[in-house]
Amino acid sequence: SILIMIRGLRKVYPMGRQQAVQALAGVDLDIPAGSFTVVMGPSGSGKSTLLHLIGGLDRPTAGSIQVNGQRLETLDENQLAEYRRKMVGFIFQAFNLVSSMTALENVAFPLRFSGVPPARRRQIALNLLRQVGLENRAHHRPTELSGGQQQRVAIARALVHQPRIILADEPTGNLDTASGYSIMQLLSELHRAGHTIIVVTHDTRMHRFATHLVYLLDGRVVTREDYEAAANFA
């Protein structure tokens, strides 16, 4: 079944006196529940914008995103915040951890705002760190962890509300070859556990884990043939 239905999605960034930038120029896309979708495209093709709109971090200029039957454009700010909290977990290239907090505190942090008592928060965070193989680094701060370990902490944090959807924007972009690959394997495990995964990446090793590939050029979804033809001219 289709979990995310995208129709006529457009995003225009106003640029003051300069000409506005059209980041998405009318995207239609269906994301099946339980799929592992890899989004490819050159820099500036709209990949991050697409991920942000699906994650409810920003609003489209036009068009619609329906997630599990709910139209995001009809949600007010509070409802959109609740959607972000409950339905999606975000993973970024730069990890985005709080440097003054330990791994455990970083993972537990989002639970502060959901009425979960402190002891339970710690327990949940520790279980998630165990799940990503970092139980023995719970009390380390980000600067005391390798890049791959920091990304594992970020993934544990993204899982804290048990989201159906995991959105990852170049999750291996700051990592060396080996730790990048282990992060892909971790995403693949989450996929097998039932999460719907959408990853933006230039790393073609991710393709072996994907159930669906989406190609973006100039803010539009194109076929693989058109994408490769364009790449050959680049």
Which residues of the chain form contacts with ligand ADP (CB under 6 A)?
A: 13, 21, 23, 40-49, 202, 231
Residue (41 or 60) nearer to ligand ADP, CB: 41
Nearest of 159, 84, 168 to residue 124 by alpha carbon = 159
| Residue 232 C-beta: closest distance to ligand ADP, Å | 11
Residue 38: CB minimum distance to ligand ADP, A = 10
Q: Which amino acid is at 89?
A: G
Q: Which is nearer to ligand ADP, 202 or 205 (CB)?
A: 202
Eight-class DSSP state of 202: S
Instruction: Give the nearest distance from C-beta 80 to ligand ADP in angstroms.
Output: 18
Nearer to ligand ADP, 27 or 156 (CB): 27
Which CB atom, from 34 or from 42, has the smaller least distance to ligand ADP? 42
Q: What whole-number distance in Å separates Cα of residue 65 and Cα of residue 29?
A: 9
Tell the smallest beta-carbon distance from residue 57 to ligand ADP (Å).
11
Rounded CA separation 70/21 (Å):
28
Q: Which is nearer to ligand ADP, 63 or 110 (CB)?
A: 63
Q: How far apart are CA 94 and CA 103, in angstroms?
A: 15
Helices vs. strands in the chain: H and E counts, helices first: 7, 10
Smallest gap, in angstroms, from Cβ of residue 203 to ligand ADP? Answer: 8
What is the signed CA dihedral for 217, 52, 128, 186, rounded to 10 degrees?
0
Contact 85, 66 (CB under 8 A): no
Closest-approach residue to ligand ADP (CB):
42
CB of residue 70 to ligand ADP, shortest distance in Å: 23
| Secondary structure, 3-state, 16-67 | CCCCCEEEEEEEEEEEECCCEEEEECCCCCCHHHHHHHHCCCCCCCEEEEEE
In terms of CB distance, is 161 or 220 closer to ligand ADP?
220
